[in-house]
Structure formats: structure tokens, C-alpha cells
Copies of this chain bind each other. A is one copy, B any other.
Amino acid sequence: MNAVGVIVEYNPFHNGHAYHMEQAKQASGAEIVIAAMSGNFLQRGEPALVSKWKRTEMALKAGADIVFELPYQFAAQQADIFASGAVSILEAAGCRSLCFGSESGQMNSFRQTLSFLEKQNDTYQNRVKFHLDEGCSYPKATSLAFCDIQPESDMVDLSKPNNILGFQYLKSARNQNASLNVLTVARKNAGYHDEQFSSDTIASATSIRKALFSENGEIEAIRQYVPETTYSGLIEYKETFGGFHHWEDYWPLLKYRLIHLLPEQLETIYEMEEGLEHRFLSAALQAETFQQFMELIKTKRYTWTRLQRACVHILTNTAKEEMPSEPSKASYLRLLGMTKIGREYLNKHKADLPLPLISRVSSRVSDHLHLDIKASRVYAMGVKGRQQQILLEQEFKQPPIMI
């Protein structure tokens, strides 16, 4: 069986994702789709709307055949490390191709950009350093540096965040000598960060989340943008757990943590750079909400996303030495769910998988999964009472979702 891999967060799964999976199958000629999906905390440094188990169920019901967890050490990370972990999982899972969505849908532009940047690397890095020294954030500095080196017209514009992940997938595949073929298909409507609905059926996950959290946030309002299975899944989750996970639910915990840690303890946390710890502490003492806190700590030097990720690491007590600080490969395949066809595929390939396949967390494997287990437990603290216990216990009790 020929499998195509996709790298996703599905927060939540919407029509654009379904369209992407179809296109990926077509472009690659694959029969099955394997998703490397972020766990409970996401790349933007946010808790996922609903748990990874519910998101797995939604993905499987809408076309994915196998879902592996992108472990915390890659999921809550900057683009290059995120990409390296995800690509290594899809490669290890035996995917013949990896397919991502882009505006142009032209793989050639990505390849040319990569070659060009490899050749111009010294100049490019100098320009990045120059802009960092000017006080820009890292993404801003790379974006400006890219413009400085005058890319040719048939390249992708890496000053647009949309294109950066795709570029990093290609780069990771090349650096890892992956045998999978990297493909891209054109996205349908809706930019990645659009906050407004602009089509009848396709909307960005950002605009969907915004609608769900709006003042009289009725799930009904997003119905047309998501498969029926997402719609009913969201309703069910909200009924069971009392709502969707939101940073504000974790704010009392983050605030508590910030006010009882010494600056030198805060400094051991991943992505906490020197100088940030005093800023974080003084903001925590002033802010009543997470939003207020973020506004107090935001500077030109750090993006909102980067600061939110630091907050996630503080919340999960993740130390610098626990995280890869540069692109690297995953060390296990954590199976979150599969369809019948996905199961056939796995049965066939199980013996040749280069990484351990973990379908159930036990004390035997829990050391490897330490960060994922901790992240899931902290994620559970966002809900109250009996429901919290369900989420707390799920990490050890939940078998892979089968549909």
C-alpha cells in the first residue's frame, strides 16, 4: 500500500483539511493518508481546542487512515524543529510521499528557493544576524534577510509565514536523506491566519476558533466550514468537558507558577532567554488575564507565538535539556488511532518500522514519553471535577482510536 503523509494540527479539523487530504492522495497516487499530528499543545504555543484523542477521531472519520502523535518536543517548537520531527515520523512510517498545502502549489519554487538559499547561505545568515542585532524577532529577521538577498521571481516568498513550514519540510527531508517525495498542492481559499470567514465552505482554523470563542459562540456558526463529524465531535466534547480548552483556563496555573519560581529557576525553562524571567514575573504580578499578561510581556524582539510557547513550557515545566534545540529526529511512533485500512497497513509494515511503535502507554515506555505524559496531565488541568479525571487518566488508559 502506498501512503502519503501529512503534517497537521487539526485544531479543529475543517473542510480545507478534508480537501487537502483528497488532493494529497491524488497528487501522490497513495491509497492511504498518514497524519503526524501535534498532541495537546500546538506550535503557536496554545492548548488544542479539544484533546488529541478527539482530534484523532475527527481526523479518522474525515479521511485520515493513521494518526501518529507529533511529540511535545517537536510540536511546541519553532518551524525547523517542528518540521524535522514531523518529517522523521512520516519517513519512519514508510510514507512514499509527504504532501503539504501552499498558495502556489508549485513544488519547483520550493526546490529552487532551497538551492538558492543553500548557495547564498553566508550572505543570508549575515543578513539574519544584522536584522536580529537591529532588535527584530527571529521570524522577522529571516523574512527581511530573504528580501535582502533578492530572490528570483520563480521562488516562493519566504517572507510569508505560510510558506515557511513547507520550505522547512523540504529542507528537513533533504537533511535527513529521507526517501519520501515532498509534494505540494494548492490551498483552497482562506489564508492560514485569516480571522474572518471569506468563503461558503472553507475557512481557516483561526477564524473557526475565533467564532467558537466569540461571546455567544455557538458551534452552529461554524457548521458549514467543517465536516459533519467535526461538528458533532465538537458538540460532544463541549457537553462532556464543559467547553473548549483555552489559554485563559490555564492562566491561574501559569500565574501561580510564575509567582512562586525564582528567576534562576525560570531561566532553566526551554525558550526562556536571559532577561525574560524578570519581565515575566513582573507581568504575572500585574495581569488578571492571560491576554493582559501577553500584552505586558510582548516586545519587538519576540513574536507572540514565541512568547506563548515559552508560556507553555513554563506551564509544563519543560527544561532546556529536555528539548532538542535544533532539528532532529523522533525516537518513537506513538499511535493515536487508525482505520481498518490503516491497521492493515501497519500490520504489514510493523516488522520493518525503524522506530518503536507505541500503541499503549505503560510504565515500560513511559520514560520515553515523559514529556507527552506531562503535557497531557497539565492539559487535563484546564477542565474541572470528574472530567479532569477522565483526561488525566486517558494518557495511560486510552487505546488507539479505531474506526
Contacts and interface: CB of A to CB of B under 8 A. Distances in A.
Interface residues of A, number: 23
B317 A374 contact: no
A178 interface: no
A151 interface: no
Contact of A381 (B252, B377, B385): B252
A377 B259 contact: yes
Contact of A374 (B253, B260, B286, B374): B260
5 contacts: A259-B377, A259-B378, A259-B380, A259-B381, A259-B392
A288 interface: yes
B260 A316 contact: yes
Residue of A256, A317, A381 most packed against chain B (CB within 10 A) = A256
Minimum-distance CB pairs A-B, first 9: A259-B377, A260-B317, A256-B381, A253-B256, A260-B378, A260-B374, A285-B392, A260-B316, A288-B385
Interface in A126-165: none
A255 interface: yes
A288 B253 contact: no
**Copies of this chain assembled into the complex:** 2
Contacts of A259: 374, 377-378, 380-381, 392
Given A378-B256, A381-B255, A392-B285, A261 B386 contact: no
A189 interface: no
Given A256-B378, A260-B374, 9 more contacts: A252-B253, A256-B256, A256-B381, A259-B380, A259-B381, A260-B377, A261-B317, A286-B389, A288-B385
A273 interface: no
Nearest to A317: B260
Interface in A265-296: 285-286, 288
Contacts of A378: 256, 259-260
